[in-house]
Amino acid sequence: MPYKIAVLVFIENAAGEQLLLLRAKSPNLGAWSPVGGKLETSLGESPYECAIRETREETGFELATADLHLFAIIAEKSYEGSGHWLLFLFRCKKTIPALPPDISEGRFGFFSRAAMESLPIPATDRTALWPIYDRYRDRFVTLRADCAPENPLRVEIEEEG
């Protein structure tokens, strides 16, 4: 089965709280996650173009390429047992001024990293994604993850800088 290619954009407010979306649709229905979505591969969209588009569509927040830092690429094998994902993770260098309005994809909230410990977030986000953000948000890393439900989550670093 081919990879689905997507981006996640980690955006903060001026207080350093993370902007998260309580997803109203799959994947991650009922869980809080960063802004993001699938690349328009039929249009030849780049990961940066996708991050800018998804941020604008979901939040109304306008970004430029210079506002983004690509800090990780993760190849996830068998996510939720149903597919493979190639994820590009971006940290937004520009703070968002206000909470965006609700959208069909869900509703937004700002959360400190400590507050996120009690939120419903996807298991792979809790055990892998957020620790990667905490460690590499100002650097760069490539990883691969085996997310098959019958195995314990295994994340391996392929390159870090």
DSSP 26-88: SSSTTSEE-EEEE--GGGT--HHHHHHHHHHHHH-----GGGEEEEEEEEEEEETTTEEEEEE
Average the pLDDT over 13-41 and give the result.
Answer: 94
Q: Which domains does the chain have, with CATH numbers?
A: 3-160 (3.90.79.10)
Question: pLDDT, tens digit, for every residue of 34-89?
Answer: 999 999 989 999 999 999 999 999 999 999 999 999 999 999 886 655 678 899 99
* 8 A C-beta contact, residue 136 and residue 143: no
Tell me the longest C-alpha to C-alpha distance in the chain. 42
- Calpha distance 116→20 (Å, rounded): 10
More confident residue, 54 or 123: 54
Among the residue ranges 27-31, 96-100, 140-144, the one predicted with the least confidence is: 27-31
pLDDT tens-digit series, residues 83-108: 788 999 999 999 999 999 999 999 99
Residues listed for the chain: 161
150, pLDDT greater than 80: no
